[in-house]
Amino acid sequence: MSEHYSAAWHQLRAELRADGFEVVIVGEPAPPSAAGLEGVARSSESFAALRLSETESGLTADIWIEAPSTGKTLVRQVSAQGKSREAARELALRTAELLGASVLVISLSTPEPAPRRHLGAWAGGAVLGHPGGLSTGVAAALGGYLHATESLSFELRLVTPAFGNEATLLGTADTDQELALLGLRLESSIGAPLFVLASASYGGYRVAVRGKPLAPLVGRSEHQIVAAAAFGAGIGVRLLKRPGFDLGLVLREDVVALMPRPVLRFANATLAKAGQPMLVASGGLELTW
């Protein structure tokens, strides 16, 4: 090891420490080859490794760097002609500058993770159907959710009155239905910008009836509130992605079991039943931030 090699090494170590790098000296019987720098870095749990070597024409530094977050690597070489102290100092300065610049390039080329969204709200419409039972009703729907994790949320959903009408030979009955659900929502991406979701909710269902019979029958109004358990799935697409918010379109289908099942009677005869089961198709715009 020549005097110029030692000068370059001590100068380089001082420059790296001054730039905030922690320098670990790996003692080996023989210096590693340029290709062996990766193994030296991994064995010492370092993100970079470098080797100084001396040739007849001057001094050379080989550098290997890995970005911990992406695994991307860079390999560089710096040379200085001559074997003077000035050449040793030049090599040390250029090597330290290259190492710092390479770390900056890797960090700039590493994409920042997407910001995590904590809150969401959606608004749209819903169609309530009871196959073989109450007539279909259309209503406005809205909701909101709070992210517990990146994919799991607590969700509140509301369906405003869905109006309908039932008819018999003895008259008609106007109905309105409302639904409120609180539950869990699981969301998973299937490739940008699409995602799928599944939900399980529990809440309440209200149905109100206003009878309009023909004379001499007399009409009256009644309502009933029952428990509702819902299981659903859906698909969504991200329409906009901005630093502060995302805007998407979501379509969902839920199967709802009502307990007990409401029964609509007209003139002491069963006219229609609700929830056998009840199906709720909904869709709307969703904003997350």
41 vs 166, residue with greater confidence: 166
pLDDT digits (tens, 9 = 90+) for 140-182: 999 999 999 989 999 999 999 999 999 988 999 999 999 999 9
**The pLDDT of residue 113:** 60
Give the integer Cα–Cα distance in Å for 155 and 284. 15
pLDDT level of residue 35 (50, 70, 90 thresholds): low
- Please report, for the chain, the start and end positions of each structural domain, with discontinuous segments joined by +: 3-109, 119-288
pLDDT level of residue 92 (50, 70, 90 thresholds): confident
**The pLDDT of residue 197:** 96
Closest of 250, 238, 7, 231 to residue 142, by C-alpha: 250
DSSP 42: H
CATH architecture entry for 119-288: Beta Barrel (2.40)
Class of the CATH domain delimited by 3-109: alpha beta
Give the integer Cα–Cα distance in Å for 288 and 285. 10
- The mean pLDDT of 224-245, rounded to a whole number, is 94
Burial class (CB in 10 A: 0-12, 13-18, 19+), 35: exposed
- The mean pLDDT of 175-202, rounded to a whole number, is 95
Task: Please answer whether residues 134 and 104 qualify as being in contact, where contact means their C-beta atoms are separated by less than 8 angstroms.
Answer: no
pTM (two decimals): 0.62
Q: What is the mean pLDDT of the chain?
A: 86
DSSP 104: H
**The pLDDT of residue 110:** 53
Beta strands in 67-148 (DSSP E): 73-81, 119-129, 137-147
pLDDT level of residue 30 (50, 70, 90 thresholds): low
